[in-house]
Amino acid sequence: CLDEEGKVHEFSSSWRTDDCNDCSCNRAGISCCTSYMTPVNYDKEKCESIFNKETCSYKVVEKDDHSKECPAHSWVG
């Protein structure tokens, strides 16, 4: 399989892209999906979600103090 970056992958292989997608290759082609969950139900006035590309995960924190986490009640991904 040839991915969008021009890299060749063997059949039955899997990998994680630089933008945190999990991909796999088989004879039908390449299939990719996000490797992370996105917070959708939290106090958006008081809090914000921050994506960490190194861990491929979101953290929900207070806008005024990023050291304080906020509860996220629903995630999608």
Q: What is the pLDDT of residues 21-70, one digit of tens each?
A: 999 999 999 999 999 999 999 999 999 999 999 999 999 999 999 999 99
Residues 31, 24: Cα–Cα separation, whole Å: 5
| pLDDT value of position 75 | 97
Domains of the chain plus CATH, in order, are 1-35 (2.10.70.10), 38-76 (2.20.25.590)
Q: Quote the pLDDT of residue 62.
A: 98
Gap between the Cα atoms of 67 and 5, Å rounded: 36
Is the pTM here over 0.85, yes or no? no
Kindly give the pairing relationship between strand 57-62 and strand 14-16.
Answer: unpaired
Relative to beta strand 38-41, strand 74-76 is antiparallel
The alpha helices in 1-77, defined as continuous H runs, are none
